[in-house]
């Protein structure tokens, strides 16, 4: 079972069951979940707070640190899935639609190696 | 194409291609991506900043507001996928492993309707 | 010694000395400090994650919970002061200038009881 | 009027009047303000998202970019002051108390040039 054979729906079901078994939907308002998502994103960021960019790239080959970051990334994902469950949003479609918008905002040929949208470039 | 038949790997590939076509891996250090994730989570939160919990639940049936939130949720997910790509983390396994830990921390029978871990309860 | 007789410069000096005594300016790049600020803001938010709006108002009269929130608020402030130190920004002027902009964006008579800018109102 | 002759109470009054003139205390629950603080911290962070640590240090001498960051830092401070107003917390005391705790956690002689608490050090 890996990213290659796990669907978004599989993970959504996993989160949904966990929440329902604990009667936690009462806490899972979209407002609260948006806070949870930001809180977990900050916990993930904490691991990168004081290190420089090169060190952050090397974290991939430090098993202990990577395991901690992986756990925080899982937390972020769990809350994103929980929010999608509450709002009844299809994530695969949402991501594909957003990538189409992103591709229009950042045309590949004009955006190579530049992070600003081309219209903002001199 | 929906959450039922889209794998995590499908979306990761979509993000990977987008990043590579723009030569953006130079910007996608884990440190930077952790900031991006937190920034997008905050943009999502902005939609819930001044409304109360009940109103946030009703957002699901307000198409215009829901579309805006859906876009922000997609942004969060895109950066989570980009970070997984950089760190070479399998998200499906990471989420499953974390849910096992969560289930140990919050046993279903002791956690029904309570958001504090049982050991923290009087 | 209270807010009535403590200047912004007093607190900035306190933070500056603390940082210099530990030779921490090497870590205190504006990029890192902006992450620290967001991380501490998230830790503060954690105390309000699962409670509703009315409960959050009543926290003022719960000494133990208030003490925890007060500590997190102090952390946020410390990093804001540290960032002002690094960027050599005068905070009193920055706040006053921003309040003038805010007053133009939200004229008092058009903004009573509404959180959207008037130009965004129907 | 600068940080040298502006007290915390001066800025708190400025924010309090602004909020009261617009009848905005109804929106200023601690829960909502904790979200606002995190949102503004993320907007500040946005300016540092894609640049490296050295570039972030040089921002101090780029007037246009510095002005934008200064505005975001003012926003963070305004919400910190608004939250202190709602919770009736004295910020000067809160910061001093927290700095005493920090000094105990990070003794100057053991923490020179190290960002981890000494007890966590090998």
Q: How far apart are CA C18 and CA C25, in angstroms?
A: 10
pLDDT in tens, C78-120: 999 999 999 999 999 999 999 999 999 999 999 998 988 887 6
A115 → chain D, closest CA residue? D50
Are the Cβ atoms of A36 and C49 closer than 8 angstroms? yes
Q: What is the DSSP string of C36-96?
A: HHHHHHHHHHHTTSSS-HHHHHHGGG-HHHHHHHHHHHHHHHHHHHHHHHHHT--HHHHHH
pLDDT in tens, B5-28: 999 999 999 999 999 999 999 999
Nearest to A106 by CA among A122, A95, A96, A120: A120
Segment D27-44 shows an average pLDDT of 98
Return the half-sphere exposure (C-beta side, CA atoms, 13 A cut-off) of residue D94: 24
Are the Cβ atoms of C52 and B50 closer than 8 angstroms? no
Q: Which residues of C touch A43 (CB under 8 A)?
A: 42
CA dist B106 → A74, B117, C38, D90 (Å)? 16, 6, 28, 37
Q: Which residues of D touch B36 (CB under 8 A)?
A: 49
B22 CB burial (10 A radius; 0-12, 13-18, 19+)? buried
Segment D10-36 shows an average pLDDT of 97
The neighbour count for residue B5, using CB atoms within 10 Å, is 11
pLDDT in tens, A62-112: 999 999 999 999 999 999 999 999 999 999 999 999 999 999 999 999 999
Distance of residue D79 Cα from the nearest chain C Cα, in angstroms: 10
The radius of gyration of chain B's CA atoms, rounded to the nearest angstrom, is 18
Nearest to B77 by CA among B4, B5, B1, B10: B10
């Amino acid at each position: 079972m890996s990213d290659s054979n796990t669907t978004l729906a599989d993970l959504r079901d996993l989160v949904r069951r966990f929440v329902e078994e604990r009667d936690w939907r009462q806490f899972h308002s979209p407002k609260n979940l948006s806070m949870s998502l930001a809180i977990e994103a900050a916990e993930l960021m904490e691991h990168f707070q004081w290190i420089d960019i090169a060190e952050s790239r090397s974290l991939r080959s430090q098993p202990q640190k990577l395991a901690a970051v992986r756990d925080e990334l899982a937390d972020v994902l769990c809350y994103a899935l929980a929010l999608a469950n509450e709002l009844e949003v299809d994530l695969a479609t949402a991501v594909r639609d957003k990538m189409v918008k992103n591709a229009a905002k950042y045309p590949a040929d004009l955006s190579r190696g530049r992070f600003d949208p081309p219209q903002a470039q001199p």
